[in-house]
A = this chain, B = another copy of it.
């Protein structure tokens, strides 16, 4: 009598995502294919999500705008158009991997089971039906998925918004319960600061989802929605270099579990910076419920994101409110706000040429001294603070754009981020 054993499944399931700059040319695409094949040869089950090659998406968008005359191109047609960029890179990647002797299959977002709502241009993923992806993995194939796209219930192709191939990768990783979702970029990982401002900046070895979320919305090049999704579904991530195979990268995950019994040695993870910030201040507005909404709603409707908002204490029923926007929106914000008949104010003042500098780290919550250290370090460096805002894991100062490098360097040094 023969007894057959089923070997326990120990193979690692890895989702890898390569962005447009990693696939900008035929030669780069070939390099990525080799890298995928090498990983395969180490034994992992692989799903590879790809963006469109280089500037394909922008070129298609420009063409659409030129052809649509006085109208804006229909969002549905625009999505049908630009989603082809990822189809091209996915099938080419499938062909290149097969050319290296490995079985591979490319799938569109639809074929990979990515179901979205009908918000063309920035659709939300409603559900993932991973049956086909799992079937192809089981067949021993490397599955290459066109990122950035999905399908509506009405059978139309959507795109998920700029930079959302990351989101495809994380969503697929969550749906197939992958061991890790690796995001390959043109940097070695998430840095402690912008290296153009702070020469000492170094790669952060690991970071929690929440800290990463603060940094993603503060200018680090990661799609915040993908971090959110990874956090909700507890998908471990690795951000690393597509060009440098020796980069260790940055692990993103739930650090609480690992660190719960350990002293958190370093509470500040990084210094985030953002240039080209402008401020709008409304003086003498009525301090009544709903006034903030009345100011913000018309801006939201115009698609303008407000960032830092500061409202001073009221005196005599009147108050001042300041908020920041990307510098490019300043004129439009001033126009919209001055035409806003719902809001009375005595004066409107604008200022551009500002920048944002933040210290980010989970350890801050329980250690009140960080804000004081930050303000002191900026003062010692002769950097004047224009506005301040804080969250549980972040302290942000608005400063003059000319001082942003000085500020970042001072803070990087103050919190000893250059040390390994």
**Complexed CA–CA distance, A141 and B192 (Å):** 54
Chain B residues lying within 8 Å of A73, measured Cβ to Cβ, are: 95, 98-99
B-contacting residues, A100-119, CB 8 Å: 100-101, 104-106, 108, 111
Q: Does A57 contact B (CB under 8 A)?
A: no
* Residues of A in contact, count (CB < 8 Å): 42
Q: Does A94 contact B (CB under 8 A)?
A: yes
Chain B residues lying within 8 Å of A266, measured Cβ to Cβ, are: none
What is the 8 Å Cβ interface bit string for chain A, positions 179-196, against chain B (1 contact, 0 not)?
A: 000000000000000000
What is the 8 Å Cβ interface bit string for chain A, positions 337-380, against chain B (1 contact, 0 not)?
A: 00000000000000000000000000000000000000000000
Q: Is there an interface contact between B111 and A94, defined as CB atoms closer than 8 Å?
A: no
Q: Given A74-B95, A132-B155, are A26 and B90 neighbors across the interface (CB < 8 Å)? A: no
**Complexed CA–CA distance, A26 and B65 (Å):** 12
What is the 8 Å Cβ interface bit string for chain A, positions 58-72, against chain B (1 contact, 0 not)?
A: 001001101111110
**Complexed CA–CA distance, A106 and B66 (Å):** 18
Q: Is there an interface contact between B106 and A80, defined as CB atoms closer than 8 Å?
A: yes
Residue of B with least CB distance to A60: B88
Residue of B with least CB distance to A71: B99
Chain B residues lying within 8 Å of A92, measured Cβ to Cβ, are: 63-64, 67, 81
Majority secondary structure of chain A interface residues (helix, strand, loop or mixed):
helix
A78 in complex: contacting residue of B26, B80, B95, B96, CB < 8 Å:
B95
Chain B residues lying within 8 Å of A29, measured Cβ to Cβ, are: 67
**Complexed CA–CA distance, A104 and B73 (Å):** 11
Q: Does A76 contact B (CB under 8 A)?
A: yes
Q: Is there an interface contact between A69 and B100, defined as CB atoms closer than 8 Å?
A: yes
**Complexed CA–CA distance, A30 and B64 (Å):** 11
A interface residues with partner B (beta carbon < 8 Å): 26, 29-30, 33, 60, 63-64, 66-71, 73-74, 76-78, 80-81, 84, 87-88, 90-92, 94-96, 98-101, 104-106, 108, 111, 132, 155-157
List 8 additional contacts besides A69-B100, A80-B87, A84-B91; criterion CB under 8 Å.
Answer: A26-B67, A60-B88, A68-B96, A71-B98, A77-B104, A78-B91, A84-B87, A84-B88
